[in-house]
Every structure is written in C-alpha cells, then in structure tokens.
Amino acid sequence: MEALDTQQQAARDWFEDLRTRICNAFEEIEAEAGSDARFDFLPWEREDADGGDGGGGVRGIMKGKVFEKVGVNVSTVGGSFSPEFASQIPGAEEDPRFFATGISLVAHMANPHVPAVHMNTRFLTTTKRWFGGGADLNPAIAYDEDTEAFHARLRAACAAHDPTYYERFKKWADDYFHLPHRGVDRGVGGIFYDRLDAEGDLFDPHFAFTRDVGEAFLDIFPQIVRKRMDSEWTDEDMGKLLDFRGRYVEFNLLYDRGTLFGLKTGGNIDAILMSLPPLARWK
C-alpha cells in the first residue's frame, strides 16, 4: 500500500484512538456487572489485486455478561477497485486506486431491554476525498426516553457544525436503515451520512464533525446500557430479541453498504460479518 499522506494518517490515528477508548468503556461496563470479559484483538492483513500490501486492520471481539457479542473493528486498506465496482465509487471511474480507513462497531446485548447499536465513521480517497458514517440504535424492546436521549446527543453533535445536518442525516438514516421487503425499519434510527466532501479546505471541518459523531456515541450509548442492563426479562422478551435479530441479519446481508464494500475489496470476512448476532430466529 502506498505511503499515507497527512490527512490519511490523521484519520487513521483518530479512528484507532476512538477504538481504544470505546473498548475501554465497554470493558468497564462488564467489570461493573461482575464480569472479567475483555476484548480479543486479532490483526489481519490484506493483499491487493497484484498480490502486494493492501493494508489490513484489527478485529476486536468481546463476549461477556452485558455484551453478548460486540465487535469494534478498525481497518486501513488500499489498492484498486475492480472495474465493475469502480463505476459505483466517486472518483474511481478514471482511476480505480483507493484508500479507506475507518472504525466499525456493532454491539448485540444479552438483556433484551438493552438496545443493540451500530456506529461507524470512515474516510475514503480516490481522485476525490470524503467522510461518511453515523450511528443508529436498534432496540428489540424500545423505550421512548432512550430513543430521545440518543437522538438528542446526535442532534447536539450535528448542531455544533451545521444547523441542517441533523434533519438531513436523520432522514438519510430513516431511509437507509429500512427493510423494503418487509416494510419495517431496522431500529429507531439515528444519523447516517456519506460522501461528505473532504477536498481542500473542507477536510478540517468535516473531519471535526466526524470526530464529534464518534464522541457523541461514546458519551450516550454507555449511559443507555447502564440504565437498562440490570432489567429483569422474560422468555417473551427474549423471543422479541431473537425475532428482531433476524431482521437485523436480513438488513446487513441484503442492504448494508459496509458489508458490500468489505466483500468487494477483499476485506477480512470475519471482520466484515462480525455484525451478525450469535443467536437469531425466523418463525
């Protein structure tokens, strides 16, 4: 993989630092619950189309008392898109070379009253440069106050940068995290954005926004977990969780852009599919 420029290195460093702080925060929650669960970190490498260094990443997985399965992955990859895939990526039509770095997180919780969650932020470069990402809450048993708190924190992160961001990116999440074949949403939403221009003078403000999305997630989600993790639950509650997870699996395998990008660029299969829950059901 080619040497990283200043912007690429800054983005990579930030995503890796955020990964460390998120993992520490989740391990603290496990410790509070009387669990000694910790993350296992598994590095992986990728070959580019010519058999050379295509970058790689680290897959972090923890299975504990509160977090039934949580994956926090970071990756930094580069190479060339296939001609078919290059036609779908901005700036890759004329030059298929690309660079991508980011963090991706999915947490499936043991207690049906604690919502699952997804968060990712990323920086991509071809002949163009842009940021993308977001966070969304996925409860099997929804609580309005949790939904409101999650959205309020993301709204504040957006408002610090552009008063139009929250409504725009909330709608994007509502439209994106939807299963059209079932006519249902994957969860209670959040924000989603992509192709946020990072050319020239736009890199610094849009990198700052992307960092604030990560900070907002790290602030609010542990609060929600601590509020719900000791809730009593029934077999009926667990059934709702397993049914909900079936819908989650369907979305991630049929529609998720990150899954498609990872598969099309030769990423680590276990890291790509870490979003899938350990147990789900279809009736």
Tokens representing 48 are 């580019």
Amino acid present at 132:
G
Tokens representing 93 are 């039509």
Tokens representing 139 are 């409860």
Q: Which of 118, 161, 178, 206 is catalytic?
A: 118
Beta bridge partners of 106: 71, 118
Whats the size of the chain, residue-wise? Answer: 283
Tokens representing 140 are 């099997």
By DSSP bridging, strand 40-47 and strand 53-62 are antiparallel
Residues 152-189, buried b or exposed e (16+ Cβ, 10 A)? ebbbebbeebeeebbeebbebbbebbbeeeeeebbbbb
Q: Is 151 designated active site?
A: no
Q: Is there a contact between 157 and 138 (Cβ–Cβ < 8 Å)?
A: no
Strand locations in the chain, DSSP E? 40-47, 53-62, 67-80, 97-109, 116-125, 129-138, 178-179, 184-185, 189-197
User: Integer distance in angstroms from the first to the last C-alpha of the chain?
Assistant: 46
Residue whose token pair is 């990072």: 198
What is the dihedral sign for C-alpha 279, 170, 134, 93? positive
Active site residues: 118
